[in-house]
Structure formats: C-alpha cells, structure tokens
Amino acid sequence: MNIKKIITFALVLISVLIAGIIFFEENSSAKSIKTLQTSSNSSNEKSSKLKAPDFTLTDTEGNKVSLSDYKGNIIIINFWATWCGPCKFEIPDLIDLYKKYNGDVVVLGISLDYDGPTVVPQFADQYGINYPILYGDSKIVSTYGNVTGIPTTFIIDRDLNLYRRYVGYRPSTVFEQDIKDLI
C-alpha cells in the first residue's frame, strides 16, 4: 500500500470517529438531561423546569463552594481543563461576562484537570480568571449528565433551574442572550 492510500484511509477513519463522537454526545446529552428530569420532584408547581443538581466542591483556595450558595443569581457553570484549546477561547468571554454583570451573574469554572491543584492556580493567574474555579471529580461529571466533552456549559436561572446546556465552544453572544432572557 502506498503512503497516500494509508493517509487517506486514516483521515476517513478519523472523520468517521469524530462524527460518531459528536452523534453519541448529542444523544447521550439528551438522554442524561432527560434522566435528570424524570428523577426530579414532579410535585413542584414548576414541574416543567428541571432543578440543577446541587453540589459542593473545593475551590482553588481550599474553600467549600456549593451551587446553592448562589441562589438568586444567574449562574454559568463551565466544565473545562487547562489543556483544552476551545476552553481557553471561552475564558476571556467568561471573565468579561462576570465583570460586566457584577455579581448578578456568577460564573463557576469547574476544572476537570487530572492534577488540578498543581496546574490550575498558575493557569488561572496567567489567564487573569476573576471568577471561582472549582475542582471537579467523577461525581460532578456524572451528576451533570456524564459530561464527555469540554467545554460544556450550563446556564442556571435564579431559582437554580437548568436553562440551557452547551457542549463545545460558544461565543459570548450566546451566553449573553441567555442572560438577557433570564434577567
């Protein structure tokens, strides 16, 4: 086999794998959100709304932070990692949104770095991250529908209901429209 055929075959195989991952992610996202929805309390008057699962994680300074600490705010939960290129593109936008809405919108960055405490604080300083960074684990990944791709971002309304979920990079205009819808 010549080298051109091998390269062509490899590219086709990679394309098929990427398409499969995207298809699987979309289907598993829908299923995991549906699973969260069916397990929520349906006796609530707002049964059409899905409560965001509460959690308590440790931040970069060793403090315990819970989602419920921010009830009354619009919350952006962003699952990310220091090695993720698209995550790095979103960080400046998240910094700007956090600054622009000055406490009305809270951004919680959940790092999925394997060795978070040794790499995240330096990374956060380098990028000038001004919002809380929390260390994620397999439990939070599972709780939020088996997050398999990063960045994955959830928009949570003031009553801690899930409003939107985005898998992959999104420009700030997308998040800003959700914020405007919820204000």
Render pLDDT for 100-109 as a digit per residue (tens, 0 to 9).
998 899 999 9
pLDDT over threshold 70, residue 63? yes
Is pLDDT at 12 greater than 80 in this prediction? no
120 strand-pairing partners: none
Q: What is the pLDDT of residue 18?
A: 55
Q: How much is the pLDDT for 148?
A: 86
Cα of 3 vs its chain's centroid, Å: 40
- The gap from C-alpha 31 to its chain's centroid, in whole angstroms, comes to 17
Q: Percent of the chain, pLDDT > 70?
A: 75
Instruction: Give pLDDT, residue 124.
Output: 95
Question: How does pLDDT run across 111-167, given as a tens digit for each residue?
Answer: 999 988 999 999 999 999 999 999 999 999 999 998 989 999 999 999 999 999 999
pLDDT above 90: residue 89: yes
Token representation of residue 12: 């086709």
Q: Is residue 35 predicted with pLDDT exceeding 60?
A: no
Q: Could you write out the DSSP letters of every residue in 103-156? A: TSEEEEEEE--TTHHHHHHHHHHHHT--S-EEE--HHHHHHTT---SSSEEEEE
| pTM as predicted | 0.74
> What pLDDT shows up at residue 103?
81
CA torsion angle for 70, 76, 82, 86 (degrees, to 10)?
180
Q: What is the dihedral of CA 100, 105, 106, 111, to 10 degrees?
A: -70
